[in-house]
């Protein structure tokens, strides 16, 4: 989430030469996948002994949020500001982001947390003015989570409800850049990022899965379904040897990159500023919903 997609093909190309790229540009699923139900899971706790979808067995669940309450666990599990964003942890215009992230744009109800990006003028405490607000969650709360190796997984519905000021659908859904990723923990001064997915909503079925840690590497995957139509499961098995990316339980990409230091989790719905890929002038809001976030270790 910290660099433009237009850099990624070169990164992937470098890794293809190493032989570590398994599945660039692979179609991985269709709309008939039985795991892709349209509703969030409502149980209060994760199912006993639940394992990563497609990730094998022997995992112990270390940290999670099922988002089945009525408010985000601010300050305990989550914070709304990240060291990845220079303007008070909430805005990053140099990274082609239009939005300033506010806690009030994150709402928890009906078994999921919903992130809402809104076209609204907002002056940050820094004095910088933004034309959009949105929501970011990072696991830096008092009972939050920092990890290096493990399996991180989220079940989510990506960019949807792209609407105008009257609440009517806008056909051109471009301009949104949701992601589920890791960022180096407090005190770590090296780049350790893993992007389980990034979506640019102008081409919503084409996802970017990337390790920015050490050897790095990434894949671009055409998923064969609309990630904004249903909830789907996005995961990464991050080990000392490599990083393996899964979508709905299918291994779709494996790269050599692996972190050497601890990281935090981030869920976000960025608004993309690149001209031509930024929101349609008619667009006033869009959403992303997350059913759960889970992390296991062995």
Residue 40 contacts Ca ion per CB under 5 A: yes
Nearer to Ca ion, 116 or 289 (CB): 289
Output the CA–CA distances (angstroms, integers) from residue 219 to 4, 6, 139, 295, in the order listed: 14, 13, 26, 22
Q: Which is nearer to Ca ion, 108 or 242 (CB)?
A: 108
Contacts of 12 (CB under 8 A, 6+ apart): 21, 24, 217, 218, 219, 220
CB contact set of 48 (below 8 Å; sequence gap of 6+): none
Question: Residue 157: enclosing H or E segment and its boundaries?
Answer: strand 150-163
Instruction: Please list every residue from 97 through 156 that binds Ca ion, using CB under 5 A.
Output: 111
**Measured from the CB atom, is 111 or 279 closer to Ca ion?**
111
- Label residue 106 exposed, middle or buried (CB < 10 Å: 0-12, 13-18, 19+): buried
CB closest to Ca ion, residue no: 111
* Stretch touching Ca ion by CB under 5 A, among 59-67, 98-106, 168-176, 216-224: 59-67
At closest approach, how far in Å is the CB of 290 from Ca ion? Answer: 8
Residue 290 near residue 136, CB atoms below 8 Å: no
Our CB check for Ca ion shows the closer of 178 and 257 to be 178
Residue 99 backbone phi and psi in degrees, to 5:
-95, 155
Q: Which is nearer to Ca ion, 221 or 295 (CB)?
A: 295
Segment interacting with Ca ion, rule: CB under 5 A, options 35-43, 70-78, 143-151, 236-244 = 35-43
**Nearest distance from residue 50's CB to Ca ion, in Å?**
12
Which of these segments, 13-21, 27-35, 188-196, 288-296, binds Ca ion (CB under 5 A)? 288-296
Binding span for Ca ion by CB under 5 A among 143-151, 186-194, 204-212, 286-294:
286-294
Given the complex with Ca ion, which of 40 and 216 has the nearer CB atom? 40
Question: Interacting stretch for Ca ion, rule CB under 5 A, among 64-72, 128-136, 162-170, 199-207?
Answer: 64-72
Q: Is 291 in the site for Ca ion (CB under 5 A)?
A: yes
65 versus 268: smaller Cβ distance to Ca ion: 65
Q: What are phi and psi of 79, to 5 degrees?
A: -130, 160
The two three-digit tokens of residue 297, written as one number: 């270790």
Could you give the 3-state DSSP secondary structure of residue 288?
A: strand
Binding-site residue total for Ca ion (CB under 5 A)? 8
Residue 68: CB minimum distance to Ca ion, A = 5
CA 162 to chain centre: 18
| 105 vs 165: CA distance, rounded Å | 16
- What part of residues 200-229 is at the interface with Ca ion (CB under 5 A)? none
DSSP per-residue codes, 50-110: ---TTS-S--EEEEEE---SSS--BTTTBBS--TTSTBTTTB-GGGTB-EEE-GGGEEEET
Binding site for Ca ion (CB under 5 A): 40-41, 66-68, 111, 291-292
């Amino acid at each position: 989430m910290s660099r433009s997609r237009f850099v990624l093909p070169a990164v992937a190309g470098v890794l293809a030469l190493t032989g570590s790229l398994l599945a660039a540009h692979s179609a991985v699923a269709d709309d008939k996948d039985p795991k892709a139900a349209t509703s969030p899971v409502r149980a209060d706790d994760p199912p006993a002994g639940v394992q990563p979808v497609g990730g094998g067995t022997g995992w112990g669940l270390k940290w999670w949020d099922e988002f089945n309450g009525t408010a985000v666990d601010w300050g305990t599990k989550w914070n709304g500001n990240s060291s990845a964003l220079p303007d008070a942890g909430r805005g990053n215009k140099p990274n082609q982001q239009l939005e300033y992230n506010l806690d009030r744009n994150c709402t928890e109800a009906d078994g999921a947390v919903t992130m809402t990006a809104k076209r609204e003028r907002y002056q940050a405490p820094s004095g910088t003015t933004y034309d959009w607000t949105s929501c970011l969650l990072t696991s830096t709360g008092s009972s939050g989570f920092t990890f290096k190796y493990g399996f991180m997984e989220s079940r989510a519905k990506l960019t949807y409800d792209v609407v105008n000021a009257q609440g009517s659908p806008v056909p051109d859904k471009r301009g949104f850049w949701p992601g589920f990723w890791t960022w180096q923990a407090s005190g770590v001064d090296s780049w350790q990022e893993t992007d389980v997915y990034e979506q640019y909503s102008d081409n919503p079925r084409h996802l970017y899965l990337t390790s920015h840690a050490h050897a790095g590497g990434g894949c671009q995957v055409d998923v064969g379904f609309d990630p904004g139509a249903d909830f789907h499961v996005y995961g990464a098995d991050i080990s000392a040897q490599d990083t393996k990316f899964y979508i709905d339980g299918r291994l779709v990409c494996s790269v050599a990159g692996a972190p050497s230091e601890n990281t935090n989790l981030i869920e976000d719905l960025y608004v993309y500023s690149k001209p031509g890929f930024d929101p349609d002038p008619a667009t006033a809001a869009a959403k992303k919903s997350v059913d759960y976030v889970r992390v296991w270790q062995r």
